[in-house]
Every structure is written in C-alpha cells, then in structure tokens.
Amino acid sequence: MANLLRKATALTGKCHDITAEDADWGYVGFGLYKLAAGESVAEATGDREVILVLVEGKAEITAAGHDFGEMGERMSVFERLPPHCLYVPNDQNWQATATTECTLAICTAPGKGGHSAQQLGPAGITLTLRGKGQNTRFINNIAMEDRDVADSLLVTEVFTPAGNWSSYPSHRHDEDTYPDMTYLEETYYHRLNPAQGFAVQRVYTEDGSLDETMSAADGDVVLVPKGHHPCAAPYGYDLYYLNVMAGPLRKWRFKNDPAHDWIAQRDADATTTG
C-alpha cells in the first residue's frame, strides 16, 4: 500500500515536514507550522525556493534581507479571502514571528536563482469560479504559470462547497511530454469546515498499478506521485485544500481520464452553445 496519506506529526510547532526524499520523488516539499502569538520560526532555503502561505492568522516576516512587516488577514481559511504569500529564493533565509495564532505553510521545490524575494498576495489573487453544478469550486491562484514569480513552484488554493467534487473530472499530469502533458508531483493540504469532517480522495492510474482511496481529515496531506486524483466534500462539510506542484517544467498540462472525459466535453459544449 502506498504511503500517500500523511497525518500531522504534532498539534503545534512544525506539524508537517514532507521532503522530496521522504516522499520518494524529485521535486515537491511541504511543511506546516502552527504557532501561538509571539512564537518564531526560521529556516534556510538551501537549494530550494519557497513560497510561504499564511493559511490563517498573522505574522511578521523577514526574508532574504528584507523586512516584509506583518502579513496575513484571514483568521479562518474559510473566509475565502485572498491569502498573504511570500516568495523566497534558494540560498536565502526567512523568519516568521506570529502576532496572532498562525498557520504557516511552506511550499518548496528546486530553486534556480531566477526570481527575487517578493510578496505574492493578496494583491494579484482573485477568487475564481471553476466547474459547473456539483463540480463547482472556487480557486485562489497563488503562483500558477500565468504569474512569472517562481522557478519551479506552482501553488494554488481550492474551496469546494459541501457535497461537491473537485480535481474532477479525474485528470493526471505524470508524463514529461510537453506540450501534451507535463510531469508534476503534487501535494494536497486538506482542511474541513466543520473540522470534524473528512474529504474523500482517490489516487489511481488507468492500468490499476496504483489505486488508493483515502479519507482525509482536517489537517491531513495527500501525496500525488502519479495518476488521477479527484476528491469530494461530503454533504455538510466544506473543503479547502492547498496544492503544491513542481516538476522539470513550470507548466500545468494534464489529461483527463478517458472514461470520464465525456463530462468535461459535455460541459464545454454547454458553455459554447449556451
């Protein structure tokens, strides 16, 4: 059985520390701190670039010799406000001191020295509708390819209303065959509202060599090394997840599962004719 569902290793402090080596892949890393007001953390980026995401709460942040002041606004991720985020290049240092209770995500991938430290949000991030009907969800694109703000990282937030599906129709991005497809590893950091809920996520390949269906609780991380990876929010529970993707090329090109592509085609046709 693949070790794709990762539980938090602590309730406070560094709750997740998923390295590329630990995930047994080549690009994506994901960490998460839960801090009380007044607590500080500091890390060196080494050979990796970093995007810090203030998931909840506020913190004073310095990075790469610059003081970015107090960052953060939303106290609950389900406020759906655009996140405060900071890009830190490789071979630099960053420090955060929480000014309220704070949940701070650390998204990492190989850095190439091509970008400078900069604040990425909330400016430039707009909540966007995607999908139709029970496939409706809302996206905060933090650092997708339309924003030239990173060397490797692609980062986005998704809000899925209760009873809806997302990352659907099932799709994969696990072959380096651009422009047909790009190879991208991916992590999902899940949150539920109310917090006692769960999400359902399936990670599977068309040949059946990988087929895992997981119940992700509030605060869990799911790894997607390959294959399709749809998820669903049960009735009564809103779902949030933070996606981190990276691979050899910073572009997002995917293919739908042929068994379910008719859904995407139907919806596209309805949009065109309607």
**Using one digit for the tens of pLDDT, what is the confidence trace for 86-132?**
999 999 999 999 999 999 999 999 999 999 999 998 999 999 999 99
In a domain, 269, yes or no: no
Residue type, 135: N
CA dist 214 to 34, 108, 231, Å? 24, 24, 9
In a domain, 223, yes or no: yes
Instruction: Give the global pTM.
Output: 0.96
From CA 90, how far away is CA 195, in angstroms rounded?
Answer: 35
From CA 73, how far away is CA 69, in angstroms rounded?
Answer: 13
In a domain, 271, yes or no: no
Contact status, residue 27 vs residue 109, Cβ threshold 8 Å: yes
From CA 4, how far away is CA 189, in angstroms rounded?
Answer: 12
Token couple for 68? 């970015």
Which helix (DSSP H) or strand (DSSP E) does residue 264 occupy?
Answer: helix 261-273
In a domain, 34, yes or no: yes
pLDDT at 170: 95
Range of the domain at 50: 8-263
pLDDT at 272 over 50: no
In a domain, 31, yes or no: yes
Q: Are strands 59-63 and 66-71 parallel, antiparallel or unpaired?
A: antiparallel
Any idea what DSSP says for residue 228?
Answer: B
Stretch 14-35: mean pLDDT, rounded? 97
pLDDT at 57: 98
Residue type, 111: G
Taking only the tens place, the pLDDT of each residue in 197-230 is 999 999 999 999 999 999 999 999 999 999 999 9
In a domain, 147, yes or no: yes
Stretch 150-172: mean pLDDT, rounded? 97
pLDDT at 268: 79
pLDDT at 133 over 60: yes
In a domain, 160, yes or no: yes
In a domain, 231, yes or no: yes
> Average model confidence (pLDDT) for the chain?
96
From CA 81, how far away is CA 126, in angstroms rounded?
Answer: 9
CATH number, domain with residue 135: 2.60.120.10
Count of structural domains within the chain: 1
Contacts of residue 133, Cβ cutoff 8 Å, sequence gap at least 6: none
pLDDT at 184 over 80: yes
pLDDT at 1: 53
